[in-house]
Amino acid sequence: MKIITSVKEMNAFADEAHALGKKIGLVPTMGYLHDGHLSLIKKSVSENDVTVVSVFVNPTQFAPNEDFKTYPRDLNRDAALAESVGADAVFHPEPEEMYPDGYHTYISVEKLTEVLCGVSRPTHFRGVTTVVAKLFNIARADRAYFGQKDAQQLAVVRRMVADLNMNIEIVGCPIVRESDGLALSSRNVFLSPDERSQALVLYKSLCTAKGLLEGGERSAARIRAEIERVIKTAPLADIDYIEIVRYDDLTAVETIDCKVLIALAVRFGKTRLIDNIIF
């Protein structure tokens, strides 16, 4: 497996693969890989001739008060894990390689980025869409793989690809959870033992909502109230949002009569966790 650090070398690697008629799958990550990332890599390996994993903690998607400097990093560990499940290359550029002096171009997707995480993180998705578009171009990818845990990100990327006529297939993959239900996240390492234990209320609340829906409840307000009740049984939980929105355009619903995304963001100490289910 190759570790590539420059745009020029990544371009050459991708061009050589395409010249041989190979399809390239891209798994964009910020590193500190876990089983959720590995499931994306395995999916790409199964569907493409070449799989590239980007490991890049993208500074433009962090606000000044967020955890860019402390975000966990371990390239050697990431490279070993990526190679163990069949990746052909890791693209690991420095920020200066992606955003050289004089860089002034950004991509903004409107509407979809103004709800959910976009409310408390208003600059986040501009950074996400910009770096993802750059990675698509640099890796010359035919397919790209994203986890459903970041459901809003997946929706935003799909909208960008459709609106800008990008010739790439976006593949969404299921959330991977710990055995006790906690959604895998690189940020889970920041949780104290008490915070880790109490964070289980996130999935518990979503399972409660699913049970209500399966029992015939269709009032978004009642379901949201029950999710909130369950989360508040954890003293350390600080709710950012609980939202029930249409799956296709992320607009709020009052009566659940369509495919919906039930999404939440909750802080435990300094760690902000997100989770969701689709019904």
Which of the residues are catalytic?
37
What sign does the CA torsion over 209, 215, 219, 221 have? Answer: negative
CA neighbor of 161 nearest in space, from 133, 126, 125: 133
**Helix (H), strand (E) at residue 266:** strand 260-268
Query: Which residues, 6+ apart, have CB-to-CB distance to 224 below 8 Å?
Result: 242, 243, 244
- Residues 51 and 41: beta-carbon distance below 8 Å: yes
CA neighbor of 82 nearest in space, from 5, 2, 159, 145: 2
- Residues 230 and 204: beta-carbon distance below 8 Å: yes
In sequence order, what are the beta bridge partners of 173? 147
- Residues 269 and 253: beta-carbon distance below 8 Å: no
